[in-house]
């Protein structure tokens, strides 16, 4: 199945994970930063249109490395359009039913970028947008076909008195970003 997620609604409180996730996983933030760079390039070279990237994080037990997989992007959207990203259901591990002698690739998380929006006419209230995971993002993580932690790549933003963070119209497109975790209440079944 394909989730159609809107970026218009943002939840009030988000847990924030700094860009360096941990010393043991430095490659994942670097890889997600590369995907963000593609989204920035898209926005810069196709203004006023943007698109959001998504995909999965796998653990390759043959190499002991985390990798990105199934990376795709949503449709282009512009002023007045609904923001869109696409994520499929959690793919089967490779192989799907590993034996103790296999060195499987496990799907351990999903991710998506939010669009590098910086134009006033993209914003629902005219002066900015919330940053971080939306309620739809949390729902997608906990969907029966997903049940995986997720990561959202988005701007750090500026804190507001209500505890949220926002980007305001005119913020630089290369403003600092963060990786925001999404922890679902239930995880995928163990292999």
The residue ranges that bind Zn ion (CB under 5 A) are 134, 137
Least distance to Zn ion from the beta carbon of 154, Å? 8
Least distance to Zn ion from the beta carbon of 181, Å? 13
Q: What distance in Å separates the CA atoms of residue 161 and residue 98, rounded to the nearest whole number?
A: 50
The CA dihedral of 121, 14, 40, 49, to the nearest 10 degrees, is: -30
Q: Which one, 14 or 105, has the nearer CB to Zn ion?
A: 14
B/e letters for 2-33, b = 16+ CB within 10 Å, e = fewer, are ebebebeebeeebeeeeeebeeeeeebbebbe
Least distance to Zn ion from the beta carbon of 50, Å? 13
Least distance to Zn ion from the beta carbon of 98, Å? 31
Q: Which one, 53 or 104, has the nearer CB to Zn ion?
A: 53
B/e letters for 139-159, b = 16+ CB within 10 Å, e = fewer, are ebbbbeebbbbbbbbbbbbee
Least distance to Zn ion from the beta carbon of 83, Å? 8
Tokens of 56: 């999965």
Q: Which one, 42 or 137, has the nearer CB to Zn ion?
A: 137
The residue number with the shortest CB distance to Zn ion is 137
Q: Which one, 93 or 137, has the nearer CB to Zn ion?
A: 137
Q: Which one, 29 or 104, has the nearer CB to Zn ion?
A: 29
Provide the 10 A C-beta neighbour count for residue 49.
Answer: 15
């Amino acid at each position: 199945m394909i989730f159609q997620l809107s970026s218009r609604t943002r939840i009030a409180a988000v847990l924030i994970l700094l860009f360096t996730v941990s010393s043991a996983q430095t490659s994942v933030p670097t890889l997600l930063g590369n995907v963000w760079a593609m989204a920035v390039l898209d926005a810069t070279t196709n203004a006023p249109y943007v698109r959001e990237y998504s995909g999965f994080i796998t653990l390759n037990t043959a190499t002991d490395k985390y990798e990105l997989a199934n990376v795709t992007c949503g449709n282009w959207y512009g002023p007045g359009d609904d923001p869109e990203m696409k994520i499929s259901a959690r793919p089967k591990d490779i192989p799907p039913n590993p034996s103790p002698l296999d060195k499987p690739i496990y799907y351990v998380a999903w991710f998506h970028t939010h669009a590098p929006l910086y134009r006033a006419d993209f914003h629902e209230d005219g002066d900015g947008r919330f940053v971080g995971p939306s309620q739809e993002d949390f729902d997608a993580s906990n969907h029966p076909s997903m049940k995986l932690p997720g990561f959202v790549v988005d701007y750090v933003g500026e804190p507001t008195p209500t505890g949220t963070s926002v980007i305001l119209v005119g913020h630089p497109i290369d403003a600092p970003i963060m990786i925001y975790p999404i922890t679902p209440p239930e995880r995928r079944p163990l292999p």
